[in-house]
Structure 1
Amino acid sequence: MPAALPAVFDPFGFYRAADEYWRDALERSVLYMDVMRRRGNQYLEHMEQTKPNVLGFDAEVLVDGRDLPRPVNYELLRIAPPEGVEIDPRKRPFVVVDPRAGHGPGIGGFKPDSEVGVALRAGHPCYFIGFLPYPEPGQTVEDVVEAEIAFLRHVNERHAETSERPMVVANCQAGWQLMMAAALEPRLFGPILIAGAPLSYWAGERGGAPMRYTGGMTGGSWTTALLSDLGNGLFDGAWLVQNFERLNPANTVWAKQYNLYANIDTEAERYLEFERWWGGHVFLGADEIQYIVDNLFVGNRLSTAQLVTRDGRRVDLRNIRSPVVVFCSRGDNITPPPQALGWIRDLYEGVEDIIANVQTLVYCVHDSTGHLGIFVSGSISRKEHTEFTANMDYIDVLPPGLYETTVTPAEERTDGEPLERDYLLEFSQRTVEDLDREVQHREEDDTRFATVARISEINLGLYRLFLQPLVTATVNEDIATWIRRLHPSRVRYKAFSDRNPLMLGLPSLAERVRADRHPVAEDNPFRVAEGMVSNEIVYTLNTFRDLRDRTIEATFLSLYGQPLLQALVGLHGDAHVHRRRPGAEPEHRRFIERRREELREQIAEGGRHEALMRSVIYILGGSPGTDERNFKRLRASRAELEPGTDLASYKRLVREQFFILRLDREAALEAIPELLAGESPDAIDEHLEHLDHVLAASGELSEHAADRYAQIRSLFERAKKAA
């Protein structure tokens, strides 16, 4: 055979490549099975612990929720800083709240590059709110919310000398639970970051939010009650995990396992580390999960201010006074942006309402990362979470309103002064109309989901009347235990553990393989073919997923869009809008008008501090956006002008002046010379120098901002002449 022909045509080369591939494939199979065995052993060991946790930092328990007046299975931990990390007790404390959505606790501090790790490296005292596998008897969602309030109160007491309230970071399920707590006790909270947290459950983009149809396709929440009864009063979190896995069958059935098999020499430890959390299933009480499904998932009552506690307090997210940062991703099919951001649109008719309600709302939409990547990915922690953490003080000074943030790499910025870190966090003012492009609200879908809510109530009532007595009479604790043990998500772990006698010889065989490993070259034609087959399997499963999701969506829209069905459940006549809009209600409009009248009376009140802050806000309002450097200067100006003023008073000054400018700009500007009436000409010149210093932070002013600055200078000159 001519030497110029490719080696694949060489029969000896072909057989040699085949021999090398099959030897490597056999070795990988042995090592893969050994990793499955180790995974099973790890699972059993993890679940036998009293407090299983994947938290990657040493911690001590400060408050055990089981000792509270209404016991819960939550606890407050103080994170001990790793060796070499210095904590500044004067800095704002950080509290990370773990999500309890079927998996075990610890994901917020899973790795050094995590939300906990980012806060520690920034020198902040750090606390962690975790939970135990089993709920306390009779535990409710309200009890958990009250426990989190008690934990925050304890953190505030430990840092009484710090004027700034704790920053709280909450992921997924913990996000909506924490927002409930902040709405009930807003004074305890500093800035709030909710990552991948669903708050508006009916929202979603057509073709991109498959989980929002689940309640309708199962006939409502009666299945939740059934599963709780089969658990003898406990809801198995493995069912929730199974729902997540069904969203992406390609990853669940094939890609995750194949990635381990294909890279068995390097991926084993990372795989086992993640599986320790993914397989750490926990439990919820029957009352807890029923409350969640009925009031949130199906009823959508949180974002529309319809939840009322047992002692008569309304859970209204408009009560929150801390800045709220919403971090979500377009690549997240569990909490897509409409579900993470739709609550803002539910509660407010416009940005003027947000401003009058003294709320600062910031959102950041990632382009591609998945649900877990929002709070697990190391690249996200090193970029977005690091910037959020570093800039929380700046966000805390942002005037009320709606903002979108962007994170820009330092090498792409050439304007202004040098950056302190690798990225720059910028803020751009947004309107409700801008937000609507992310939320994509449809009124006809509201009617469909309202129909689901009515049918859910009917089916739940029928289940409790006819079927529940039979189930509860049949299922005892022994039967419930066996049902839990036989759940597929548990069986797949246990089947490959050392408890299976077929695994007895595997450890020694795997050791022999590792001692004499023969990995095949990546360009081996059979290895290349293997990768191609894997890609085809992934493509096929993705095609199945897309077809399934489109079918479910079409069925849902068709079934619950039937006028006859809607009329049968009482949705007819003039009830064409079925999502409550608190922002459009008469009492809220009266509140907004009353707030505006209060601010009009403050236009000419104050002195040089009000004049300076009003001027800075007016000038910066002429720019398309702003960034942390402006607020660094603003924070520094507090020490220069009012060294004895605490940060809370300073922030109140910023917000009030912003209100006044938005309320009546012309009157607010004309009042500036009056506010400077007691100043000498030299003092006024110093104030102008200070304005120059603040405005130079972001480089050259835009033409519009420069015109505004000229207008301000003329007002200061008028005050100087009067002096």
Structure 2
Amino acid sequence: MRYSSDSPAGNFSTQFGPAGFALDYAMDAAQRGILFWDVMRKRGNQYQIHAAAKAPHVLHFDAELLIDGRSLEKPVNYALARIVPPAGVEIDATRRPFVVVDPRAGHGPGIGGFKADSEIGVALKAGHPCYFIGFLPQPEPGQTIEDVARAEAIFLEKVITLHPQAEAKPCVIGNCQAGWAVAILAAIRPELFGSIILAGAPLSYWAGVRGKYPMRYSGGLLGGSWLTALTGDLGHGVFDGAWLVQNFENQNPANTLWTKQYNLYSKIDTEAPRYLGFEEWWGGHGCLNAEEIQFIVDELFIGNNLAAGRISTSKGEAVDLRNIQAPIVVFCSKGDNITPPQQALGWILDLYEDVNEIRSHGQTIVYTVHETIGHLGIFVSAGVARKEHGEFSSNIDLIDALPPGLYEAIFEPKTEQTASADLVDGDWIMRCETRTLDDIRALGGNGPEDDRRFATAARVSEINLALYRSFLQPFVRMAAPDWVAEQMRAAHPLRLQYELFSDLNPWMAPIAELAKTASEERCPVKSDNPLLAVEQAMSAQIVAGLDAWQNAVEAMSEAAFLSVYGSPLLQAAVGIDPSDTKPHRRASKTGLHRRVLEERTEELRARIGQGGLRECLARSLLYVAMAGGGADERGFAAIRRMRRTEERAMSLGEFKALIREQYLTLLIDEDAALDAIPRLLPSDETTRREALASLQQVLSARGPLSDEAEKRWQRIVGLFGVAEEPLAEPVPRATPATVTAIAGRRKSLPPSR
């Protein structure tokens, strides 16, 4: 017989009064308990199936294998796959391809395409061809981080050859660990990238704020990377990724020990599919070679050498992030306890003195800081996918067209009052506002004394690692043959929790039948049952207790790190000057860049008086836009519409080069650049009037100009030497990106003299 909460057997409170509430709750709790353990059983069985697969992944989309990294000259366990667009999704062959690189941080591949609303899903929706770079659970013998980078370069070369008609090189998304790997490759092979999105990716490992997210202290508290080497030796040259997953779980004991399980138990009638879907990825542990993880810990986590420019390839090539030519989008969150904003953005402060130095390297950096989302939510949250990732996918050409500099991406909801709402795809408007390094510093960070502590921890790590390798490593390797390593991996606590609650355990045999009966006779308790409120209050108390314990442990950990590595005696003993106030994270400067910049400046100064109508229009729009300090997606949408009507519009690459040159020209000598406009314009007044009208048409996509921008606009009108035509609407703020429409109209405007 099947009962419900409305049937007499499922609603004892109507028959027995207060005692009935206890009976209702007891039956519901018992049924939830049985169904909970059945989900645990299914999770264990799912783990067995996933682990037995040849190429396990959690991709929501069909994929076609293009290159198997195991077949390369230097084999790696990575592969390139083409994402097959779902039925009804149309791909534009002229749009740049998107390549999602999944993080190899202990879990298996597929998180970037985990569901329809994902990084891959929103890119497909925007009409971009999509590719996926994933990996197998076991590394190839002898593969290194550099080998993986070289393989990914081959993958990107393949993608580029498959899209000769695309307007730009691929946009590459690097999630978490894949973010720093993508950044390293982009610094070595900048020509392969059209744009880069770093999502939750740490690049500056020492950075952070006191009293929050102390994971950065772990290396020092453990005595350095000798434990990493020990773990790799115990694994017979293979590092078990389950230890990395364990580190993630240790960052939030309340969620690991209670919240995740209680959320399933309390919502057992609806939560099981989502829970099992996530656990398939979370439990898909992969491994790394010992050499790979040693590089990661020594060079990145403890050494912080990436942002400081102290990493070199086997060929002696310096990995300098200032070599990256593609626009860099950084997506981070204040709620991310793995990669807080300081670690995601601190590399900018390590590399550059000010925004002008960013511009001098020709770099465009756009960042956005979410207020609350956690680390995994950056990749798996459907809301984040539809908002931030969706806007990045739809407006990647706008980001590509921005002049060099530092910007923050702001997202505003589209409403009925939004101007030119028809130019906005989706429910959000993306605006890129100019920022300075002070905006990055305002997020918090280290002082010189903190940097000295981390530098001291790095030196101690080097000493301890050398001692381990000299005195212990030979004996550990002899005591850990391959079969012992396999048994140790199988016995890892994270793996055992899946094994013990699967059908392999005979004690779980009755659960399936009991769950079937409980499901058929399910009678959930009513929400107003007082015992249910007591249960929820007890859960909240457990979470509060675990959070308090976590806060206490974190406070003690931070105090211990600051005390031990802040000791002047220890600092002096390892060669760190306790009185040194110089930044230990700052990348060195090169005289070569200064000479190249001086030559480029003189070249641009000589070209101020050269050009024609395109240069005038670009220069004019940028001049007005510099008063507003931002770019809006509506302006770029208007540009796209106008470009579709042209027989021969400028390519995105041509437009990008034009914008960069004219922007730098204005920075070098604004007055001379503006004074040259009348000399570069066509002599025909009708042509000038049409050009000015075209500017107005594009500018009308946004709200009114500020007072300063209006003054600049009137100066431009005067330089064109024609009367301004009145608009039906006020002239809105100009944006750098909006110049594309005019710059691309080659056939509609006569040539300049």
TM-score when normalising by structure 1:
0.96
1:22 maps to which residue? Answer: 26
Residue type matched to 1:147 in 2? A
1:356 maps to which residue? Answer: 360
- Give the C-alpha shift of residue 581 in structure 1: 2.4
- Give the C-alpha shift of residue 414 in structure 1: 3.1
Give matches, 1:87-106, under 5 Å: 87-106=91-110
Residue type matched to 2:42 in 1? R
1:468 maps to which residue? Answer: 473
TM-superposition CA deviations, 1:642-676 (whole Å, max 9, x none): 92532211110001101111121111111212222
Out of 497, 501, 507, the position equivalent to 2:502 is: 497
Q: Judge conservation of contact 1:175–1:194 (CA < 8 Å) in 2.
A: yes
- Give the C-alpha shift of residue 718 in structure 1: 8.6
Q: Judge conservation of contact 1:237–1:282 (CA < 8 Å) in 2.
A: yes
1:177 maps to which residue? Answer: 181
Q: Does 1:409 align with 2:413?
A: yes
Out of 157, 163, 181, the position equivalent to 1:159 is: 163
RMSD, aligned α-carbons? 2.1
Residue type matched to 2:474 in 1? P
Q: Does 1:628 align with 2:649?
A: no
- Give the C-alpha shift of residue 576 in structure 1: 3.4
Q: Judge conservation of contact 1:426–1:627 (CA < 8 Å) in 2.
A: yes
Distance 1:34 1:280, change over 3 A: same
Q: Distance in 2 between matches of 1:498 and 1:330?
A: 41
Q: Does 1:716 align with 2:720?
A: yes
SS state of the match for residue 328, structure 1?
A: strand
Distance 1:9 1:61, change over 3 A: closer
2:431 maps to which residue? Answer: 426
Q: Judge conservation of contact 2:13–2:24 (CA < 8 Å) in 1.
A: no
Give matches, 1:196-275, under 5 Å: 196-275=200-279
1:4 maps to which residue? Answer: none
1:705 maps to which residue? Answer: 709
Q: Distance in 2 between matches of 1:613 and 1:633?
A: 16
- Give the C-alpha shift of residue 602 in structure 1: 2.2
Distance 1:173 1:706, change over 3 A: same
Out of 489, 492, 514, the position equivalent to 1:484 is: 489
TM-superposition CA deviations, 1:332-363 (whole Å, max 9, x none): 01000000001111111111111111111000
Q: Does 1:445 align with 2:450?
A: yes
Give matches, 1:253-652, under 5 Å: 253-411=257-415, 413-418=417-422, 419-572=424-577, 575-582=580-587, 584=589, 586-634=591-639, 643=648, 645-652=650-657
Residue type matched to 2:32 in 1? R
Structure 1 segments unaligned to the other structure (5+ residues): 1-6
SS state of the match for residue 505, structure 1?
A: helix
1:686 maps to which residue? Answer: 690
Q: Distance in 1 between matches of 2:156 and 2:84?
A: 18
Q: Distance in 2 between matches of 1:479 and 1:545?
A: 34
Q: Distance in 1 between matches of 2:457 and 2:362?
A: 35
Residue type matched to 2:556 in 1? T
Residue type matched to 2:195 in 1? P
Q: Distance in 2 between matches of 1:171 and 1:538?
A: 29
Distance 1:574 1:526, change over 3 A: closer
Which segment drifts farther, 189-198 or 413-422? 413-422
SS state of the match for residue 356, structure 2?
A: helix
Distance 1:471 1:19, change over 3 A: same
Distance 1:567 1:673, change over 3 A: same
- Give the C-alpha shift of residue 439 in structure 1: 4.5
Distance 1:37 1:687, change over 3 A: same
1:45 maps to which residue? Answer: 49
- Give the C-alpha shift of residue 473 in structure 1: 0.6
- Give the C-alpha shift of residue 626 in structure 1: 2.6
Residue type matched to 1:630 in 2? G
1:54 maps to which residue? Answer: 58
Distance 1:657 1:91, change over 3 A: same
Q: Judge conservation of contact 2:13–2:19 (CA < 8 Å) in 1.
A: no
Distance 1:214 1:610, change over 3 A: same
TM-superposition CA deviations, 1:561-609 (whole Å, max 9, x none): 1111100000127743252423655554444444333322222221111
Structure 2 segments unaligned to the other structure (5+ residues): 1-10, 725-751
Which segment drifts farther, 126-135 or 637-646? 637-646
Q: Distance in 2 between matches of 1:582 and 1:694?
A: 42
Q: Distance in 1 between matches of 2:560 and 2:578?
A: 25
Distance 1:546 1:194, change over 3 A: same
SS state of the match for residue 74, structure 2?
A: coil
Q: Judge conservation of contact 2:434–2:629 (CA < 8 Å) in 1.
A: yes
TM-superposition CA deviations, 1:204-223 (whole Å, max 9, x none): 11122311001000011001
Q: Judge conservation of contact 2:685–2:722 (CA < 8 Å) in 1.
A: no
TM-superposition CA deviations, 1:464-491 (whole Å, max 9, x none): 0111111001001111111111111011
TM-score when normalising by structure 2:
0.92
Which segment drifts farther, 282-291 or 666-675? 666-675
SS state of the match for residue 497, structure 2?
A: helix
Distance 1:413 1:125, change over 3 A: same
Equivalent residues, number:
715
Q: Distance in 2 between matches of 1:554 and 1:590?
A: 46
SS state of the match for residue 248, structure 2?
A: helix
- Give the C-alpha shift of residue 630 in structure 1: 2.2
Distance 1:640 1:684, change over 3 A: farther
- Give the C-alpha shift of residue 83 in structure 1: 1.9
- Give the C-alpha shift of residue 161 in structure 1: 2.2
Q: Judge conservation of contact 2:236–2:480 (CA < 8 Å) in 1.
A: yes
Distance 1:355 1:427, change over 3 A: same
